[in-house]
Structure 1
Amino acid sequence: MNGRSDKDITIQVCTNLAGEVQMLLRTGLVTAPSIQIKTFPPCCMRAKQKAALCNGQTSDSAYNELEQGRGQEREQQEQATKGLLRIMTATCLGTCDVDFSRDSAMPALCFHYFLNEATVQALLAKGKYLLTPGWLARWEEYLADWGFDQATARGFFQECLTGLVLLDTGVDPDGVRNLQAMAHYLGVPYEVLPVGLDHFAYIVKNRLLEWQLVKDRQEHAAVQASLSQRIANYAMAFDLIIDLTQLMEEKEAIEKIKELFTMLFAPQRLEYRPLREADEQTDEGDSWILKPLASGQGFFFVSFTTTVRWACF
């Protein structure tokens, strides 16, 4: 047992976007009864680790946890995946075999969390290299991981791109400084595009509302099914009771009562015993003590008249 309730929500997000998720919660742009943030390393940061993950060879505990979590989610589907919101993209793990549930929010690129798709495509078409604050904070590690030194990095970026664009979400006070440092290192122009968190908040809130709607429908269906079953049981019981009132023979009444008790209680054994004067009685008069036939057996009995008793085991 992990102590989590069915109202708890886990937001699974790469570390590059964790600051934005935390800001949504701190500012109240996104609210929920209970939200836990779970981060995983960005696959776009470590090409070698990404390849190892695809081959099942990574030793990174966070990656292993993400992979192993697939089977765990299936086993605990009633608890974990119902409240799991993944903030990642279709390119996060490349071609890795990851079980993205229907609770996963997966645009094509992480930039789509902050700008609409048409705007992103227009910027890319102009040769702009888009950056998020979380990615930019690690730009030197990225370039090193890609095998660039300053000379090769300058040659590549100056040939292929027209400039750097920071999608400034406002979560990193060092974002502009990091952008200037990277642009100076590469020898390319840069610009800052203030995007804020409104678009991101809309997406996350929409996903949370979708989850809540599914949960409410499931709870409603469960309650409705339970009530329908109870109504059906009551209807059957009343039908049998009506039948009992129309019986004239004791033998027929006994069989009908057996049928009623079997339907209501599903006992392992059902006995009918006629009352004899020598039987024990309690001080309550019409209640009767029935000793179990074997030790450890439970029972209950019902007395309709002072002449018969029923016991269900």
Structure 2
Amino acid sequence: MDKLHIFVCKNIAPELVYLVQKNAYTDVSIEVMDTDCSKALLGTDELIKAVSSVAHSENVRIIGSVCVRSAELELAGKFKLHNLENCFELFLNKGILNTYISQGYYLISSGWLQHCWETLDSWGFDETSIKEFFRESAQKLMYFDTGVMSDFEPELRKVSAYIGLEYEVLDVGIDFCEYFMKSMVSQWRYEKERLYLRTSLARLTRQTADYAMVFDQIASLTTLTSETQIVNSIMDLFNLLFSARTIVYVPYFGSQSGEPIVYRVSPVQQAGITKDDLDFENCGPNDLRINVRDKEKLLGIFKLMEISFPQYKDHYDQLAAFLSNICALGIANARKYLQLQENEIQLTELNEQKDKMFSVIAHDIKGPVGNFVGLTELMKSSVHNSDVVESDELAHMLHEESIRLNILIGNLLKWSAFQAGHTAFKPKSCNFHEVVLHVKGYIETQSSIKKVVFTAEYPPDLAVRADQHMLQTVLRNLLANAIKYTHEHGYVKLKAIPTADQMVQITVFDTGIGMPNTLREKLFMPGENVSRPGTKGERSTGLGLLICHDFIKKHGSLLEVESEEGEGTRFTFLLPLALESPVL
């Protein structure tokens, strides 16, 4: 069995070895190169010889950055080379990574930590020189915790003391690296399948000249990546070979069949699919059935009805068995290509989610925490000076800041947990009045301070079918936002009305500042900057609306928004009317 051999340095090898074991990649092997960022590659000729002795060039991937740059041109001509600007791009988005580097962090991986003493010793510095070197080149150590090294703290503390720099730990997790590796492995497997398809076609071409017409048509299959295109191309070939009245193809996905595709030769017969067309069990004497299988897995069935020249039926049966393998290769290849595209989309979505979370952490949580430090310093001074009035004001400011930070962190945790699929969805019959009372307790202080009138209108016995915690979170965020962007003496209203189709229309609207079209269009896009200050300068991240959008979507509904600048804003969504009694 062919294996994919991934060559990496020892500093990033532990994560890739872990992922090979976790995902049971029996066809992947991690090979460790004797190099790191502090020295050049161990020798281009030596590496090429070592790599070539392990595997063919098409089964080799080399991942590196500085360590492979000097040999980049020669290596790239022989092997597939992933030349990264920095190997830590395997764990974190490049933009955020460069931010940490520009702030003077010296980045450490689990692999570096495991071999740190060997590495430091190879530099030839004594302890004094090491400290001086790091003081001149870095401000602080940053350990990337991917989760593969559980007990890293004792060793990290020893290294920190020896080098003379404090350290921080960044919980990057393994997901980013896993999607990178899945994409690489999927691409390699996909290329192997394409190579196998080309090899099979080339071998079969040499078997007999009688198949020349078949191969002329089949050669085009290697350039097609859509199953529908491949099936249509195969049906054209079948029409040339067998001259059947009607050709039907039904795809299979496991035990489930898909939508049939019908090819009719005669224009007179362009009617809809008949019962006989789909009767694959009872084929007539002049019909031909071709099962398309990939490694015993049924991919689809072709049925050719009323073929011409039935006296050559035996020859057609042999040809059909041969063509079945070709069809299987093409269709299986198309489905693998589709899976590869879906993996790339997932990687992009994960990247956007990480960017959003780290952006919130770097910009919005850092501010309140800094305010906490400043306020506590001022409180120390006022207590020392026995200034009771100032201490009381500072305590109030500290309390307000803590409320904002608590809400922000709560929203971040809820959103990240939901994106990761860790939020349970438990819809039940909910008493809407009790939900409103719960939410009202959170916003009363905010509305009172801003002198914004809040009212709620709904039938007293109204019950909706929803996840109660998600619904409370949605209403709390929508109402808090409405108050935030409404001027003093304005009003905010919550309204719930049952509809004729046993749904409940829930609306939150205000008389606030509204929003421009450009902002409204980006409200529910992760990674877009939609934050802006409230009417009294209140800060915002826009994360609350993302949570509302995702939670409402989980209920099978849409969060719709109407707004004009200076005219206020209206958010609306639908939930099913609960017909049973509310569950306590």
The answer to whether the superposition gives a TM-score over 0.5 is: yes
Instruction: Determine the structure 2 residue equivalent to 1:89.
Output: 64
Q: Is the 8 A contact 2:104 2:140 kept in 1?
A: yes
Within the candidate set 6, 9, 12, 1:11 is matched to: 6
Partner SS, residue 104 of structure 1: strand
Distance in structure 2 (CA, Å) of the matches to 1:234 and 1:124: 61
Alpha carbons 1:70, 1:99 under 8 Å: kept: no
Matched, 1:41 2:34: yes
Aligned amino acid, residue 199 of structure 2: A
Q: CA distance change for structure 1 residues 152 and 219 in 2, over 3 Å: closer, same or farther?
A: same
Q: C-alpha displacement at 1:33, in angstroms?
A: 4.3
- Aligned twin of 1:179: 156
1:67 aligns with 2:48: yes
Identify the structure with bigger relative contact order (alpha carbons < 8 Å, sequence gap 6+).
1
- Distance change (3 Å), C-alpha of 1:213 and 1:169: same
Contact 1:143/1:149 (8 A) holds in 2 = no
Query: Given the alignment of the two structures, is residue 21 of structure 1 paired with residue 2 of structure 2, yes or no?
Result: no
TM-aligned CA distance change 1:20 to 1:154, over 3 Å: same
Give distance in 2, aligned partners of 1:71 and 1:27: 27
**Deviations for 1:102-133, whole angstroms, at most 9, x for unmatched residues?**
53333222111111111110000101100101
Q: How does 1:78-117 map to 2 (within 5 A)?
A: 80-86=56-62, 88-96=63-71, 99-100=75-76, 101-117=78-94
Q: Residues of 2 paired with 1:36 and 1:70: CA distance?
A: 12
Whichever structure has more helix as a proportion of its residues is 2
Alpha-carbon distance between aligned partners in 2 of 1:139 and 1:35, rounded to the nearest angstrom: 27
Residues 19-66 of structure 1 show CA distances to partners (whole Å, capped at 9, x for unaligned) of: 2122112222xx434223322222446x4xx48x4497xxxxxxx4x2
Question: Cα deviation per residue 1:142-176 (whole Å; 9 max; x = unaligned)?
Answer: 33322322222222322332100001112223422
8 A Cα contact 2:60 2:79, kept in partner: no
Task: Answer yes or no: is the 8 Å Cα contact 1:85–1:104 preserved in 2.
Answer: yes
CA deviation digits over 1:219-242, x for unaligned, max 9?
Answer: 222333445555744569xxxxxx
Distance 1:159 1:22 in 2: 34
Verify the 8 A CA contact 1:129 1:163 in the aligned structure 2: yes
Q: Residue 208 of structure 1: which of 185, 193, 198 is its match?
A: 185
Deviation at 1:185, TM superposition (A): 1.8
Of 153, 168, 178, the residue aligned with 2:130 is 153
Please tell me the residue identity of whatever aligns with 1:80.
H
Partner of 2:66: helix, strand, or coil?
A: coil
Deviations, residues 280-302 of structure 1 (Å, cap 9, x unaligned):
xxxxxxxxxxxxxxxxxxxxxxx
> Could you tell me whether the CA contact under 8 Å between 1:176 and 1:192 is conserved in 2?
no
1:136 aligns with 2:76: no
State how far apart, in whole Å, the 2-side matches of 1:142 and 1:15 are.
Answer: 11
- The answer on whether the counterparts of 1:103 and 1:211 sit within 8 Å (CA) in structure 2 is no
Q: Label 1:182 to 1:72 Cα distance change in 2 as closer, same or farther (>3 A).
A: closer
Q: Is the 8 A contact 1:14 1:39 kept in 2?
A: yes
RMSD over aligned Cα atoms: 2.9
Q: TM-score, normalised by structure 1?
A: 0.59
Counterparts of 1:196 and 1:235 in 2: how far apart (Å)?
A: 54
CA distance in 1: counterparts of 2:18 and 2:48, whole angstroms: 27
Q: Distance in 2 between matches of 1:170 and 1:110?
A: 17
How far, CA to CA, are the matches of 2:212 and 2:150 in structure 1?
A: 68
Structure 1: gaps of 5 or more residues: 57-63, 74-78, 237-313
* CA shift in 2, pair 1:80/1:163, >3 Å: same
Return 5+ residue gaps in structure 2 as ranges: 214-584
Aligned sequence identity (%): 28
**How far apart, CA to CA, are the structure 1 residues paired with 2:56 and 2:52?**
11
Contact 2:7 2:32 in 1 (8 A): yes
Question: Paired residue for 2:139, among 159, 162, 170?
Answer: 162
Q: Post-superposition shift, 1:96?
A: 3.7
CA gap of 1:43–1:96, structure 2 versus 1, over 3 A, is farther
Q: Is the 8 A contact 1:19 1:134 kept in 2?
A: yes
